């Protein structure tokens, strides 16, 4: 079960990284509330990443880190 949780958090981490840069909005000149839409994407994405990190820190901190026995 521990390996499944580790793999799940790895998928979440890679998804957060992959969608952090809004490539699909780079050619857009849309503006909302005085700021470019791509900037709003970053603001929202950093909010989402903060929430995900808080959940990770409370529930899975140290997952995938095992102690190596001293004898070798």
Kindly report, residue by residue over 4-55, the tens digit of the pLDDT.
888 999 999 999 999 988 888 888 889 999 999 989 999 999 999 999 999 9
| Total domain count, the chain | 1
pLDDT at residue 3, rounded to an integer: 82
Asked, for residue 25, whether it belongs to a domain, the answer is yes
Q: For residue 36, give the DSSP letter.
A: E
Asked, for residue 22, whether it belongs to a domain, the answer is yes
**Distance between CA atoms of 2 and 22, rounded to whole angstroms?**
32
Asked, for residue 41, whether it belongs to a domain, the answer is yes
Asked, for residue 31, whether it belongs to a domain, the answer is yes
Helix segments in the chain, DSSP class H:
2-18, 37-59
3 state SS of 65? coil
Domain that holds residue 38: 2-59
72 has pLDDT over 70: no
Q: For residue 66, give the DSSP letter.
A: -
Asked, for residue 69, whether it belongs to a domain, the answer is no
pLDDT at residue 13, rounded to an integer: 94
Structure tokens at 14: 């890679």
């Amino acid at each position: 079960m521990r390996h499944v949780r580790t793999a799940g958090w790895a998928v979440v981490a890679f998804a957060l990284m992959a969608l952090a840069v809004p490539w699909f909005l780079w050619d857009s000149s849309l503006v909302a509330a005085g700021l470019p839409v791509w900037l709003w994407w970053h603001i929202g994405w950093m909010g989402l990443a903060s929430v995900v990190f808080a959940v990770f820190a409370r529930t899975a901190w140290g997952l995938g880190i095992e102690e190596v026995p001293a004898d070798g």
